[in-house]
Amino acid sequence: MTAAIIDGKAFAANLRAKVGELAASFEAKAGRKAGLAVVLVGEDPASQVYVRSKGKSTLEAGMNSFEHKLPADTAEADLLAVVEKLNADPAVDGILVQLPLPRHMDEQKVIATISPDKDVDGFHVTNAGRLAVGQPGFVPCTPLGCLMLLKDRLGDLSGLDAVVIGRSNIVGKPMAQLLIAESCTVTVAHSRTKNLADVVKRADIVVAAVGRPEMVKADWIKPGATVIDVGINRVPAAEEGKTKLVGDVDYAGVAEVAGAITPVPGGVGPMTIAVLLRNALVAAFRNEG
């Protein structure tokens, strides 16, 4: 069997176009553009690429993009002051502080300072709690993007066995909450899980979010399963001195067994920014009342 390829890039382009239309109607109603602020601390190259890409997509969707770049040695109090200022700024509907932060900063404290009503990442404990009790406020972008792809592919997910590999606050835990809300039977596997291959083999839906290149192998997958690969790992390419991006799933092998699979790149990656823009616009409409 050869799996269908889930085209996240095309789905995300569609979603971005819809967000663009909503952004235009927001502007007509509110008399101003919706605004998304992104804060980057330090010079992590991957984070710089993400932030640039977020800024460009925000402008393309017809929204204002406010970028705040702070040096790596910024004091935590100064970052908190920037966040407070953005909380109070009526032109800013959504705030995203790019993670990871430099080691001298307490990430949870910084996230807790973002107003839950502007927390378009859905990382604030208030939004995590809302998701957990089934009254979602803002939902983290990557898992929500994964869910959109799954529902587009499978329709009703109720009763399906889902295995989420990874238990991060950004992906694994909210992904599990979203799948529970869809009435899946959810298992969250992680680095201490025993017999991981056997656990994954039971799944109709596999979401891999561990950050380990090509860890999930073909013989772990139930034939016909839907496989969502959240991993973005840079590894050496065959050609000397070059690198390439691979997911957490051994794509070539797993595509022979799975029913459907997201590629890397072009699967989940483009969904994250599209959902971020969507969340920012939802924030704009809500904050405008």
Contact between 55 and 64 under an 8 Å Cβ cutoff? The reply is: no
Residue 25 is labelled as binding a ligand: no
The answer to whether the Cα torsion of 194, 140, 154, 250 is positive or negative is: negative
Q: Which residues bind ligand GUN (CB under 6 A)?
A: 96-99, 121, 141-142, 170, 272
Q: Report which residue's Cβ sits closest to ligand GUN.
A: 99
We find the least distance from the C-beta atom of residue 194 to ligand GUN, in angstroms, to be 29
Of 113, 97, 106, the C-alpha closest to 40 is 97
Contact between 98 and 68 under an 8 Å Cβ cutoff? The reply is: no
Contact between 151 and 125 under an 8 Å Cβ cutoff? The reply is: no
- Active-site position among 117, 119, 121, 250: 121
Identify which of residues 99 and 132 has a Cβ nearer to ligand GUN in the complex: 99
Task: For residue 119, give the DSSP letter.
Answer: B
Residue 167 is labelled as binding a ligand: yes
The total number of residues shown for the chain amounts to: 289
- Is 54 assigned a catalytic role? yes
The angle, 0 to 180 degrees and rounded to 10, between the axes of the packed helices 45-60 and 269-288 is 50
We find the least distance from the C-beta atom of residue 60 to ligand GUN, in angstroms, to be 19
Identify which of residues 3 and 232 has a Cβ nearer to ligand GUN in the complex: 232
Identify which of residues 72 and 197 has a Cβ nearer to ligand GUN in the complex: 72
- Active-site position among 98, 119, 177, 248: 98
We find the least distance from the C-beta atom of residue 203 to ligand GUN, in angstroms, to be 24
The catalytic residues are 54, 98, 121
